[in-house]
Each structure stands twice: as structure tokens, then as C-alpha cells.
Amino acid sequence: MSDPVTILLGTSNPDKQGMLRWMLNGLPLAPTTPSQLDLQPLPDEEGDTHETIAQAKAVDWSRASRTLSIASDGGLVVPALGHRWESRYTHRFAGPDADDARRLERLLELMKPYRDARREATWVEAVAIAHRGRLLASWELTGATGIIAEAATTLKTSGFWVFTVWYFPGLSKTYDQLSLEERVGLDDHWVKLRREVQRFFTSHLGLGR
């Protein structure tokens, strides 16, 4: 049996590394991280969509590592806020120096005038795969629909700060409280993207189980 193929998880964020690793689970791939390869963090990418940003990240990380790379980019979609909210800037909308507490405070301020269905929000996530500077594949998919709660559960979350207020009434939980099984039941963004990534590697690159 040949050795597993090395693939770089194109992010310095441990939580996102965990999700990318989960997406690749079961494939004959050997995930590694930038720190394991002594790679410095790359500058923030810019793009018109989450998919173009993920593509740029994957290409740049694969070029820096000279190996296979997988990267992602995502953000919250809040239709009621219109031009006052852009999903690509979910992390930066409150200013470059804002911490998670300030980001959360600002989002809740923006949502104060809205009630019930007008508080609905979804998540869009994109994933891209590249090899030595060449883009191989990419996808951008929308996840489940929840609402923005009126207050956060906690700032101590294993995921992104906004997941403490992204609430699913049918489960009486915010996204950061959901189990993997519950996320699968919601057919969320990571679950759907995992199917695409697994299909790509098994079908197009012949990396069958």
C-alpha cells in the first residue's frame, strides 16, 4: 500500500483545522498544519465571494508548501440587514481592532429592530483544493437557517464568536452547542462540503478507501 498523500490544512486557526481534518477523515491523506511545516501565516485574502477567497488561500498555501492544500472561507448571511452587513466581513465588520465581545455587541445592536422571521440568518462556506499553486476544485454552499438570538450563550465557544447567537429554535440550541449528529440532521454547510470533498478525492484523484 502506498503512503498517504500529504495535504496542508490551509489555516492557522485550530478550530478550522479540526473541521478540515474531519472533512478528510477516512481518505488516504496525511493532514499537516502550517506550524508543522514551519510556514508563516499568510496575509488575509481578498475576493468578491467566499469561493474566490478560499481559492486564493488554497493556491497560496499550496505554493508556499509545495504540496496539496485545502482551505476555506465563510461568513454569516443576515438578509434583514441588507447593505449594512456583508458575509465576507463577518470577522471584521466591527472594525479591525474589535474583539469578540465588541463584534457580538455590535451585531446585537444591529438586530434590535427585528423580530421573529426577520432575525433569520444562514451561513455560507467555501472550500478549495490546490496543488503546488494550481487550483484543482472548489465549492461554495449555504448551510442551515437559524435566527440571531437576543443574547449570547457565552463567549467561551469552541467555534466562531457568532455561533454563540446563531440559534436553532427547533433544537433549542445555538450552533456552538450542537452535536455533530445534530449538525448532520440540519445538513449544515460543513456536512455538505464534506460530501463534495470526499467525492472529489475518491472519484477524481482515485484515492478510494
Residue type, 132: R
Residues 32, 9: Cα–Cα separation, whole Å? 6
Residues 19, 78: Cα–Cα separation, whole Å? 23
Catalytically active residues are 73
Would you put residue 49 in left (φ > 0), alpha (ψ -120 to 50) or beta? beta
SS3 37: coil
60 in Cβ contact with 46 (< 8 Å): no
Cell of 145: 437557517
DSSP letter assigned to residue 12: S
SS3 135: strand
Cell of 126: 467555501
Residue type, 178: L
How many CB atoms lie under 10 A from the CB of residue 53?
23
191 in Cβ contact with 127 (< 8 Å): no
